[in-house]
């Protein structure tokens, strides 16, 4: 591990020329920040549109035989304005003309979506006098978006040398040599890949918030700031909706024990959250954070002597797999098994799955519950807290909130509960008040 810092800047950090100037000041404030990863420009205000959304709309219009000019003109104007105001030394008009030409010739959806990051990185590299790195030359992805091992030595070679380097986030090249993108927010993953490649001392992720809070500030008034948490705690919180960082961004840096810092571009010297491999749990900090999501579906399957039927659980999950539906949780009992999935992942396959379970496994009963909210209470210190589960359940009971699912993992650092969507906000507040002294 060396003293290089990888600094990734999100869309709000690059929304206009004024934000670009903030980014440059941050980069120049620390000479260790030599590897810069950029997202596409985000919204300048609540009425604005993200560049990636506009590009995807252009792709859709071309595919449907419509003229994309009214939409692409907005993309063109945004980038030309940024380059002009910064007096960036590059021919931005030519880059945009080439991009427009490719999109009009029915470029792939992924290629089109990636152009926001590409153009942003071109401007940033020219303006900083840095070396532009093309992700398609170094970030190699399997069709399921797993990172090929060859990525790291290849990218390390391209990033070796003096000066600064700028990399567009969000995309790489697949097994067929075509541009392919991560899921939205995937520039976080690019930053993590770059940090792993160069064995960075720190991976800085700059955004529009000062790291993580113990609960969503839109639900809990003035929640406490989290100064430090582990990769594992972050994974749990990010997956359950704490969306400051893409939930897959920890994997490249975790094995290399590279810390992540979530920092605020608009308050560069303010508080931030540091993510590390291990931390010391303290008695006064039992809970690290509380996060959740609405709109899950619960399949509850009952069959006498289920525990004696070898392979029953595997066969249930294979049915979900056969319909392309991944599961999120699966609490079990002696004669019952539940499978929890996201409603948007399930789509219109509920009846098909129920019928297949009935046909293959002949359960005594199967019940499907909708409008379920899942809340994760996460904390490395939970394992040392006698009666933690009782306190949580009592706090919800005082609010008259009925529990439909309780799942305490074997590691005892994450307790999952399922409740009705309508109780979601009250439940998070109740849990927060129980474990965070005022």
The pLDDT tens digits for 417-432 are: 999 999 999 999 999 9
* 262/402 same-domain check: no
335 with 192, same domain? no
Confidence (pLDDT) at 329: 86
Does residue 375 share a domain with residue 350? Answer: yes
Q: What is the CATH number of the domain that holds 182?
A: 3.40.1160.10
Position 223 in a domain: yes
What's the predicted TM-score (pTM) here? 0.86
Whether residues 43 and 80 fall in one domain: yes
Q: Domain check: are 197 and 297 in the same one?
A: no
pLDDT confidence of residue 219: 94
Task: Calculate the alpha carbon distances from 56 to 42, 53, 78, 98, 379 in Å.
Answer: 14, 5, 16, 17, 39
- Rg (C-alpha) for the chain, rounded Å, is 24
The reply to whether 429 and 337 lie within a common domain is yes
Task: Please indicate, yes or no, if residue 284 is contained in any of the structural domains.
Answer: no
* 257 and 368 part of one domain: no
pLDDT class for 125, splitting at 50, 70, 90?
very high
Give the pLDDT confidence score for residue 334 in this predicted structure. 87
Q: Pick from 233, 255, 276: which residue ends a domain?
A: 276
- The verdict on residue 142 lying in a domain is yes
What was the pLDDT predicted at 389? 85
* Position with higher pLDDT, 438 vs 148: 148
CATH at residue 422: 3.30.2130.10
pLDDT mean over 209-214: 92
Q: What is the pLDDT of residues 171-183, one digit of tens each?
A: 999 999 999 999 9
Segment 133-142 shows an average pLDDT of: 97
Query: Average pLDDT of 244-251?
Result: 84
Query: Mean pLDDT highest for which of 24-33, 178-187, 407-416?
Result: 24-33
pLDDT digits (tens, 9 = 90+) for 335-371: 899 999 999 999 999 999 999 999 999 999 999 999 9
Verify that 190 and 47 share a domain, yes or no: yes
Share of the chain above pLDDT 90, in %: 79
Mean pLDDT value of segment 29-56:
97
**Host domain of residue 19:** 5-276
Pick the last residue of a domain from 241, 276, 311: 276
According to DSSP, the residues that pair with 207 across neighbouring strands are 264
Answer with the residue of higher pLDDT: 283 or 390. Answer: 390
Do 359 and 271 reside in the same domain of the chain?
no
> Structurally, how many domains does the chain consist of?
2
281 in any annotated domain: no
Question: Which of the residue ranges 27-41, 72-86, 129-143, 399-413 would you say has the lowest mean pLDDT?
Answer: 399-413
- State the average pLDDT over residues 115-129: 98
Whether residue 106 sits in one domain with residue 255 = yes
What would the pLDDT profile of 293-302 be if each residue is shown by its tens digit?
Answer: 999 999 999 9
Which residue, 246, 276, 306, sits at the end of a domain?
276
Please report whether residue 179 resides in a domain: yes
Residue 283 in any domain: the answer is: no
Whether residue 95 sits in one domain with residue 62: yes
pLDDT in tens, 53-103: 999 999 999 999 999 999 999 999 999 999 999 999 999 999 999 999 999
Report yes or no on 282 lying in a domain: no
Examine the domain organization and report whether 272 and 325 are in the same domain.
Answer: no
pLDDT of residue 407: 81
């Amino acid at each position: 591990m060396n003293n290089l810092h990888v600094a990734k800047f999100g869309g709000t950090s690059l929304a206009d020329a004024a934000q670009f100037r903030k980014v440059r000041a941050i980069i120049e404030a620390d000479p260790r920040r030599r590897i810069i990863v950029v997202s596409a420009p985000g919204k300048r205000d609540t009425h604005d549109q993200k560049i990636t959304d506009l590009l995807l709309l252009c792709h859709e219009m071309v595919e449907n035989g419509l003229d994309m000019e009214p939409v692409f003109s907005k993309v063109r104007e945004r980038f030309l304005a940024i380059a002009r105001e910064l007096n960036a030394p590059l021919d931005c008009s030519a880059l945009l003309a080439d991009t427009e030409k490719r999109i009009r010739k029915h470029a792939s959806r992924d290629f089109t979506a990636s152009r926001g990051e590409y153009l942003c990185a071109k401007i940033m590299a020219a303006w900083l006098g840095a070396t532009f790195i093309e992700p398609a030359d170094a970030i190699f992805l399997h069709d399921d978006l797993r990172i090929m091992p060859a990525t790291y030595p290849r990218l390390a070679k391209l990033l070796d040398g003096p000066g600064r380097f700028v990399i567009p986030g969000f995309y790489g090249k697949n097994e067929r040599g075509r541009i392919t993108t991560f899921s939205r927010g995937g520039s976080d993953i690019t930053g993590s890949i770059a940090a792993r490649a160069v064995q960075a001392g720190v991976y800085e992720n700059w955004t529009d918030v000062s790291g993580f809070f113990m609960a969503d500030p839109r639900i809990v008034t003035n929640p406490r700031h989290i100064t430090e948490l582990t990769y594992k705690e972050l994974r749990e919180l990010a997956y359950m909706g704490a969306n400051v960082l893409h939930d897959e961004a920890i994997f490249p840096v975790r094995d290399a024990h590279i810390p992540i810092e979530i920092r605020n571009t608009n308050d560069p010297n303010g508080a931030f959250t540091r993510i590390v491999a291990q931390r010391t749990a303290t008695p006064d900090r039992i809970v690290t954070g509380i996060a959740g999501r609405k709109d899950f579906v619960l399949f509850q399957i009952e069959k006498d002597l289920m525990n004696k039927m070898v392979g029953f659980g595997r066969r249930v999950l294979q049915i979900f797999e056969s319909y392309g539906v991944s599961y999120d949780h699966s609490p079990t009992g002696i004669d019952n098994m539940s499978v929890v999935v996201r409603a948007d992942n399930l789509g219109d396959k509920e009846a098909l799955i129920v019928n297949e379970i009935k046909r293959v496994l002949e359960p005594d009963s199967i019940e499907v519950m909708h409008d379920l909210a899942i809340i994760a209470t996460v904390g490395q210190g939970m394992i040392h807290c006698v009666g933690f589960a009782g306190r949580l359940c009592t706090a919800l009971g005082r609010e008259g909130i009925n529990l439909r699912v309780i799942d305490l993992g074997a590691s005892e650092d994450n307790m999952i509960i399922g409740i009705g969507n309508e109780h979601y906000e009250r439940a998070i507040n109740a849990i927060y008040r129980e474990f965070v002294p005022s």
